[in-house]
A and B are shown apart, each in its own frame.
Chain A
Amino acid sequence: MSQALLSLEGVHTHIGQYHILQGVDLVVPHGELTVLLGRNGAGKTTTLRTIMGLWPPSQGTITFDGQSIGGQATPDIARLGIGYVPESMGVFADLTVAENMRLAARLGPPDAARLDWIFGLFPALKRFWQLPAGLLSGGQKQMLSIARAIVEPKSLILIDEPTKGIAPAIIEGMITAFKELKRDKTTILLVEQNFRFAASLGDSVAVMDDGRIVHRGTMQALASDSALQSRLLGLSLAAHQ
């Protein structure tokens, strides 16, 4: 396994009176795609939001590239080179696709070659470039949300359930995009419920339950072990197919 780019040790997060994360230990190796699996309410989204500083941890340490980031402000965390694709997609509906991308390119105008690469991955974005993002379909919004996260090179991208409610044809496009990002050695932490999608991309996997990591290993091992899948996720890959 490669060296850890991101690690969480004993991370607890409270939201109001609710104790959501109850000691999360997670390692995201450099240059790999790590999948975070788990049932609804297991704490996957909270883990991503805690890493981004949107819900600060109440206990534990979060280390990114050797630097402690637990409790830092969200903009400071993002500026370290961490992209975030939330479950809600977070596109700015009143802004055009072009304006969304312009904002995401924080360091200057988007690089033309990189933009062409993104248009190759998500052709709809080029077609709807001047259209308000609010008028895009769910799948197109998801494409835009991912495109925003990769319009500038990032060290780490956190992606929360990108396939939720998305048409299979668009999911295939996402698989291509993520494979290209992996080839580019971009580190990705992907929260996903679609096991087939996760299994086709993941290098390593962590499974959450009740605010804790209950399993860690390679995706290959989990994908090939139906009994383990059933025990951890309540459903096997075979049942997905």
Chain B
Amino acid sequence: MATTIARPAPDELPKAPRDLLPVFIPPILALAALPLVGSPTTWVTLTVAALAMGMMIFVIASGLTLIFGLMDVLNFGHGAFIAVGAYIAMTVLGPLSGWVQSDALTLNLAALFLAVIAAMVGTGVLGLAFERIIVQPVYGQHLKQILITMGGLIVAEQLIHVVWGGDQKPMPLPNGLRGAITVGDFALEKFRLLAVAVGLTVFIIMQLVLNRTKVGLLIRAGVENREMVEALGYRIRQLFVGVFIAGSALAGLGGTMWALYRETLTAAIGGDIMVLVFIVIIIGGLGSVGGCFIGAILVALMANYTGYLVPKIAVASNILLMVAILMWRPQGLYPVARR
């Protein structure tokens, strides 16, 4: 007899405490920057740019944090998926240049959609091969994982040079996504708004999967105690391969968005952004998607404000941010239990 779970009336239940403090940090940081920036118009531009950048970093980092959380795998080769995804997208957009340069937004979005799908499928397949060939032999051996996945990143970058050439490539933004939407005195760049929408969509889908599906429950449980998940009869290795593929595909999506944001592309695009990605997953709490989301926004806000106010400390500012957060919460904003 399979029936729904009998449960007591909601008013009988004690409420779970919610830790909302980290959620308030990004708005506090943004408001603190307003008087320093001075001009509200500039502040809005910087903040929207930061949100767009943050969402792209989140898309890239969310898979990596789950990969680490679930199997303790330190994948320094994640940057390879970012770069390969971007190059695959560029390859798909090439023959679709008519659609890309069209004034019809639907054709622009259709071209982008096809490029993103190709990038995600390509990097998903690459992720499967990467897990099987490179990661699988070094489970539980962190030092070897760092060395071999960094080696994988270098090999992937060199293969990109072989296949697509070593020179810098243009990554033209579709016509309909160029320019800005004006709201009062504020100009909001269209592509940045799209990046925010994509990032939020990925975050919502991940939250739904993690909280409303059995696979999501297994991932959350596995991040916390994979041995117990196995003792309940679940084959966590298969789950991990699935998460690795999904994380690689998300890196492909993030890489495509990041390359479009920069409008240029080199094989090193993945490696360049990985420093920020690692800061984000450490700040967020290894294995925590919610922490990764807030961490990505924080890192991007800090990078944009300091880049405008004191460009010389733009890079160091995020290291300082990470140190400050780890002094406050040594396991990150939302530490996963047992970590």
Show the binding face of A for B, using Cβ within 8 Å.
52, 54, 73-75, 78-79, 84, 86, 90, 92-96, 98-99, 101-104, 106, 108-113, 115-116, 119, 126-132, 134-135, 148
Asked if B1 is at the interface of the complex by the 8 Å CB criterion, the answer is yes
Known contacts A99-B217, A130-B16, A132-B16, A111 near B3 by CB under 8 Å: yes
- Interchain CB contact under 8 A, A126 and B8: yes
Proximity string of chain B (214-245) to chain A, C-beta cutoff 8 Å, 1 when within and 0 when not:
10011011001101111111111000000000
Which B residues lie within 8 Å of A96 (CB)? 16
Question: What is the minimal beta-carbon distance from B83 to any residue of chain A, in angstroms?
Answer: 33
Q: Report the Cα distance A61→B1, complex, angstroms.
A: 37
Q: Report the Cα distance A96→B5, complex, angstroms.
A: 13
- Interchain CB contact under 8 A, B220 and A73: no
By beta carbon, the residue of chain B nearest A90 is B228
- Interchain CB contact under 8 A, B217 and A79: no
- Interchain CB contact under 8 A, A73 and B233: no
Q: Report the Cα distance A113→B217, complex, angstroms.
A: 24
Question: What is the minimal beta-carbon distance from A49 to any residue of chain B, in angstroms?
Answer: 9
Question: What is the minimal beta-carbon distance from A57 to any residue of chain B, in angstroms?
Answer: 17
> Ordered nearest first, which 10 A-B pairs have the shortest CB separation?
A93-B337, A78-B233, A90-B228, A112-B3, A74-B230, A92-B221, A84-B231, A79-B233, A75-B235, A108-B2
Q: Quick one: which of A78, A92, A93, A113 has the most chain B CB within 10 A?
A: A92
Total residue contacts A-B, CB cutoff 8 A: 104
- Interchain CB contact under 8 A, A94 and B220: yes
- Interchain CB contact under 8 A, A78 and B232: yes
Which A residues lie within 8 Å of B6 (CB)? 112, 115-116, 119
Q: Report the Cα distance A102→B215, complex, angstroms.
A: 11
Proximity string of chain B (1-44) to chain A, C-beta cutoff 8 Å, 1 when within and 0 when not:
11111111010111011000000000000000000000000000
- Residue from the list B12, B234, B337 in contact with A75, Cβ < 8 A: B234
- Residue from the list B5, B224, B235 in contact with A110, Cβ < 8 A: B5
Which B residues lie within 8 Å of A102 (CB)? 5, 214, 217
Question: What is the minimal beta-carbon distance from B57 to any residue of chain A, in angstroms?
Answer: 24
Which A residues lie within 8 Å of B227 (CB)? 54, 74, 90
List 22 contacting pairs A-B, 8 Å CB cutoff, sorted by A: A54-B227, A75-B230, A75-B236, A78-B233, A84-B231, A90-B225, A90-B227, A93-B338, A95-B221, A96-B16, A98-B7, A103-B218, A103-B221, A109-B3, A115-B5, A116-B6, A128-B14, A129-B7, A131-B13, A132-B16, A134-B337, A148-B232
- Interchain CB contact under 8 A, A78 and B12: no
Question: What is the minimal beta-carbon distance from B283 to any residue of chain A, in angstroms?
Answer: 18
Extra contacts besides A90-B225, A111-B2 (8): CB < 8 Å = A78-B232, A96-B16, A103-B221, A103-B232, A110-B5, A112-B1, A130-B10, A148-B232
Q: Report the Cα distance A228→B17, complex, angstroms.
A: 51
Asked if B117 is at the interface of the complex by the 8 Å CB criterion, the answer is no
Q: Quick one: which of B8, B16, B218, B230 has the most chain A CB within 10 A?
A: B230
- Interchain CB contact under 8 A, A74 and B231: yes
Asked if B314 is at the interface of the complex by the 8 Å CB criterion, the answer is no
Q: Report the Cα distance A115→B6, complex, angstroms.
A: 7
Question: What is the minimal beta-carbon distance from B299 to any residue of chain A, in angstroms?
Answer: 24
Question: What is the minimal beta-carbon distance from A48 to any residue of chain B, in angstroms?
Answer: 10
Asked if B336 is at the interface of the complex by the 8 Å CB criterion, the answer is yes
- Interchain CB contact under 8 A, A106 and B16: no
Proximity string of chain B (188-209) to chain A, C-beta cutoff 8 Å, 1 when within and 0 when not:
0000000000000000000000
- Residue from the list A101, A104, A127 in contact with B8, Cβ < 8 A: A127
- Interchain CB contact under 8 A, B220 and A92: yes
Known contacts A75-B234, A78-B231, A92-B228, A98 near B217 by CB under 8 Å: no
- Residue from the list A109, A113, A128 in contact with B13, Cβ < 8 A: A128
- Interchain CB contact under 8 A, A73 and B235: yes
- Interchain CB contact under 8 A, B13 and A129: yes
By beta carbon, the residue of chain A nearest B3 is A112
Q: Report the Cα distance A135→B337, complex, angstroms.
A: 11
- Interchain CB contact under 8 A, A54 and B13: no
Known contacts A126-B7, A134-B337, A90 near B231 by CB under 8 Å: yes
By beta carbon, the residue of chain A nearest B236 is A75
By beta carbon, the residue of chain A nearest B337 is A93
By beta carbon, the residue of chain B nearest A108 is B2
Q: Report the Cα distance A52→B233, complex, angstroms.
A: 10
Which B residues lie within 8 Å of A106 (CB)? 232-234
- Interchain CB contact under 8 A, A94 and B7: no
Question: What is the minimal beta-carbon distance from B13 to any residue of chain A, in angstroms?
Answer: 5
Which B residues lie within 8 Å of A90 (CB)? 225, 227-228, 231
Which B residues lie within 8 Å of A101 (CB)? 5
By beta carbon, the residue of chain B nearest A131 is B16
Which A residues lie within 8 Å of B1 (CB)? 111-113
Which B residues lie within 8 Å of A109 (CB)? 2-5
